[in-house]
Every structure is written in C-alpha cells, then in structure tokens.
Amino acid sequence: MTDGKHEGAADAETSGIGAAAAPGRERRMTAGRKRDAVLRLLRGEPLEIVARELAVTAADLSAWRDAFLEAGAASLKSRERDDRDETIDRLRTKVGELTMDRELLQAKIDRLEAGGGGVPFGPRKSKR
C-alpha cells in the first residue's frame, strides 16, 4: 500500500475509471444519455467540461441542446381540442366527399362525350 500505488474509491476518480469509455470503445449516445447531458448544460455546467467527459464535440452537444429546446417550445404551442376541431374535421370530410362526387361526375361526362352519344347536354332543337 505504501509502494506509491493508489488504492480505494478516491483513486477511481483520478484514474479515469468510469469517467469515459476506454479508447476505441466509445459508448453509444442513446437518447437518454443525450437528454442527461443537455440537462447538465441547462443546470449550468460548462459546455466544454460536459463535452470532454462524454467524449463528444461541443458542436454536437450544442446541437442536442438546441434540438431539445426546440422540441420543448413546439410542445408548448399545442392546444387542447375543442368543438372547433370537430367542426373542422366534419367540414373536411364533407369537402372530401363533394370533391369525390365531382370527380366521378366529370369522369362520367367524359365517358359519355367520348362515346358515340355525343355531348350529353348538347343544344336541343325546339319541339315547335
């Protein structure tokens, strides 16, 4: 123990064990690990220190933070559904039905005009 070697839990911090993955064996940055890193930044830890500890670039860490904040802002913009949404859904359905009817009628008119019958609603002669 007195031969100059360090032992114990305190030495694990100074030897780098657990601080980062071994060279060549980088840990995969899962969504949870990225979230934890971003939360550390938002709590005030310096970007450079967090990036060094996780062995990622400061640019990547900044991009994760920006994406995290954008997603949070987007979720705040959503609103609860109300009766207007039901009316909008009903009207969209009706517009779809009317559009389909119109397209089917136009196709029928095109078929009748292309057939030997001529124009279905062509000019008529007076019976007088």
Categorize the per-residue pLDDT at 4 as very low, low, confident or very high, splitting at 50, 70 and 90. very low
Q: Does position 124 have pLDDT exceeding 80, yes or no?
A: no
* pLDDT above 60 (res 7): no
Residues with Cβ within 8 Å of 41's Cβ and at least 6 positions away in sequence, in order, are 47, 50, 61, 65
Averaged over 104-121, what is the pLDDT?
77
pLDDT digits (tens, 9 = 90+) for 19-70: 444 454 567 889 999 999 999 999 999 999 999 999 999 999 999 999 999 9
116: pLDDT confidence band, cut at 50, 70 and 90?
Answer: low
Task: Note the pLDDT of residue 60.
Answer: 94
Q: In this predicted model, what pLDDT tens digit does every residue of 62-84 receive, in sequence order?
A: 999 999 999 988 888 877 778 88
- Mean pLDDT over 80-106 rounds to 92
Per-residue model confidence (pLDDT) at position 110: 87
Give the whole-angstrom CA distance, residue 63 versus residue 29.
14
From CA 96, how far away is CA 38, in angstroms rounded? 45
Task: Show the beta-strand stretches assigned E in 1-128.
Answer: none
